[in-house]
Amino acid sequence: MRTALALLLAAASPLAATAAAPPSPPPASLAAAAASPAPSPTPAAEAPRPLRPDDVWEMKRVSDPRLSPDGKWVAYVVAAADRKRDDYESDLWMAPLDGGAPVRLTSSEKNESHPRFSPDGKWLAFLSNRDGKTTDVYLLDRRGGEAQRLTELKANVSDLAWSPDSQRLALVVHDRDPDEPAAAKEGEKKTAKPIVIRRLWFKEDEEGYLDERRDHLWLFDLGSRKAEQITQGPYDDREPAFSPDGRTIAFVSNRTPEPDANENTDIFLVEARPGAEPRRLTASDRTDSAPAWSPDGKSLFYLEGGDPDDFWYGTDRLASVEIEDGHADLLTPAIDRNLFSPRASADGKWVYVLLEDDGSQSLVRVAAHGGTVETVLGGERNVAAYDLGAKGEVAVLESQWDHPDEVSALDAGKLRPLSRANAAFLAGIELGRVSRFTAQAPGGPEIHAFLTLPPGVAEGKKLPTLLRLHGGPVDQFSWGFQLDWQMLAAQGYAVVGPNPRGSSGRGLAFARAIWADWGNKDFQDVMAATDQAIALGVADPERLGVFGWSYGGILTDYVITQTTRFKGAASGASEVMMTSDYGVDQYQYAWEKELGLPWRNIDLWLRLSPFMRVDKVTTPTLILCGTDDWNVPASNSEQLYQALRRLGKPTELVLYPGQSHGFSTPSYIVDRYQRYVGWFDRWVKGTTTTAAAAAP
């Protein structure tokens, strides 16, 4: 789950200008790296076209920018769909910070991730599963050559951090299974072991059933090629960070008597040697995370979670803690917004952090001892990640309405594109223009909603309109690129994306307004956004549709059980009978925290279940879910389908084999878009589409 309008006509993406930027050759030290040929720009004679569902195969996903110690290069990850294998593969790329052609560093058919430069600049470590079933650490010599495998732990490595002397790596490693049977020989049948469950939190989406094995810290020495375990016990340890002198590792862990029953994580310190006893540095009852050392090693910056009673509706705050005595101070006590990824500047004067605020996410900074928050990169965009260099260099991963996440250098507040992974493709695509408007339900606060118009739409024309609802519930739509908005707008729909009460980005009170009251105030707000789109002369009130995924699917269920105004709906990975989820999904703590135990508070559980009003539905409803979704299990979708089918309502259930809450198979993502278009064209527009006919 966790999640005044200017009607401007669509314009070609400004990224088209970057597609033909003159490349500069890489230095000789990178001659051995595999460089991808520069794509040819779209011929001038070809007019840009709207998006099609099949374009999913062409879109790249860029992530995790990391600056080299000399500040001359930035490494990052590019994930691309492979048609032959019907899967995504991710590879490492590197771009010169002063401009020029990016260089592809890896090209295996497996996933490479977590690029991390050694502090001396000689190596680039990364994670990959290219040599077997487990994810291991690999090392690239920056002078050239093939990547070498460092670890063979027979267990997955999920994170890594370099020591300051570049001689050791702190690793997060999942415990091995001591009883794992040997692989079956050809023609031999191996019977799976029984699954024995003892934990309170015993299942997780994409992970499956959880046993007593945990994530712990290991130390890997590059000289001896020896790995040794540092932390132990029935706890998960994560986010390792070496102190500047290399003697201590900070990490995050929940070491309460029953970690599965709360979210009380703290920052711990442990000497970088086997047998050392961790020391708790922070001691609040909140969710402390994201430790970042000050350059002098005397303090740590971190994120302090909100009041536990606010649960996921609360907002994080930036804090610092003294290493010697554990004294902690809040650096942003007045900021009622979520913060992410703190990092200290090389001179120790500033702490940089990402700030989520009302439809945007910006890079900001605050003085190391607190003070006024200064915007480093703001505006109508979503800054997803960043990295800092020793001499003040800044690399950011950001998106805007007209381009997905790309890596750029930030100089004096101005961006210089570096990655360009999607530039050539988008140069031939005409996108729908995105703007924002306000709406207000009776007695409610002003809410903000985004509007995406079809490419080339004539101003003043009433359009078939889709209400797109976001997940969470504590999440927000932002100015960042939204592929589903663009995909549906390309088929002639106006798309409304509201941030109703319950959304993040507007503070604690705004988010907490729906506490144990789902489908009430947020329903009023999304209907107010729909009414405002009609009042603006954009939305045709006779041609309305609604859809969403996760909490967006749940809110879709609330909508169609309370109003008959929508001609078509698509409910994705939703919940309808709340009691059916207890012990079946991964949210045992969340359910108890917000709704109480079902056998003690059954009236509330039933009142919040859309299933109890399913006989009110008249809207033809497409229902979709992955069969392996343990976040919001498919049983919910099956229940909704069975009820609507039993009641004789137009409905269809689409289950995607092997897919978790977030889809990983490109053809299924294409199929989902085709089915959206086909369903809404049939029931909202009243037409039959090519996209519908093409759906497998």
Q: pLDDT digit string (tens) for 24-43? A: 333 333 333 333 334 444 44
Closest by alpha carbon to 407, among 424, 387, 425?
A: 387
The CA distances from residue 427 to 17, 44, 48, 49, 200, in Å, are: 8, 10, 7, 10, 51
Does residue 3 register a pLDDT over 70? no
Does residue 396 register a pLDDT over 90? yes
Q: What is the pLDDT of residue 181?
A: 58
Question: Could you tell me how many helices (H) and strands (E) the chain has, helices first?
Answer: 11, 38
Say whether both 417 and 445 belong to one domain: no
> Mean per-residue pLDDT for 101-108?
92
Closest by alpha carbon to 606, among 615, 595, 617?
A: 595
Does residue 693 register a pLDDT over 80? no
Say whether both 410 and 447 belong to one domain: no
The CA distances from residue 554 to 212, 543, 557, 559, 668, in Å, are: 32, 22, 5, 9, 21
Say whether both 438 and 583 belong to one domain: yes
574: left (phi over 0), alpha (psi -120 to 50) or beta: beta
**182 belongs to a structural domain:** no
The alpha carbon dihedral of 344, 345, 346, 347 has a sign of negative
**466 belongs to a structural domain:** yes
Confidence band for 47, pLDDT divided at 50, 70 and 90? confident
**Higher-pLDDT residue of 146, 470:** 470
Domain count, the chain: 2
Across the chain, mean pLDDT equals 90
* 521-535 helix and 551-560 helix, angle to the nearest 10 degrees: 80
pLDDT per residue over 576-593, tens digit each?
999 999 999 999 999 999
Say whether both 570 and 500 belong to one domain: yes
Say whether both 402 and 538 belong to one domain: no
Tell me the residue type at 375. Answer: T
Structure tokens at 239: 């986010």
Say whether both 400 and 510 belong to one domain: no
Say whether both 425 and 525 belong to one domain: no
Residue 299 contacts residue 353 (beta carbons within 8 Å):
no
**361 belongs to a structural domain:** no
Domain containing 612 equals 434-694
The CATH number that applies at residue 680 is 3.40.50.1820
pLDDT per residue over 179-225, tens digit each?
665 566 667 788 888 989 999 989 998 888 888 899 999 999 999 99
Long-range contacts of 682-688 (CB under 8 A, 24+ apart): 682/568, 682/620, 683/545, 683/567, 683/568, 683/620, 683/650, 684/464, 684/466, 684/493, 684/543, 684/544, 684/545, 684/567, 684/568, 685/464, 685/492, 685/543
pLDDT per residue over 482-537, tens digit each?
999 999 999 999 999 999 999 999 999 999 999 999 999 999 999 999 999 999 99
pLDDT per residue over 341-381, tens digit each?
999 999 999 999 999 999 999 999 999 998 899 999 999 99
Return d(Cα 398, Cα 15) in angstroms, integer.
13
Structure tokens at 559: 């909508």
> Mean per-residue pLDDT for 64-81?
97
The count of other CB atoms within 10 Å of the CB of residue 79 is 17
pLDDT per residue over 604-634, tens digit each?
999 999 999 999 999 999 999 999 999 999 9
Structure tokens at 26: 């890489």
Model pTM score: 0.90
Say whether both 414 and 515 belong to one domain: no
Q: What is the pLDDT of residue 571?
A: 98
Say whether both 460 and 419 belong to one domain: no
Say whether both 540 and 596 belong to one domain: yes
Return d(Cα 301, Cα 318) in angstroms, integer.
7
Q: What is the pLDDT of residue 184?
A: 60
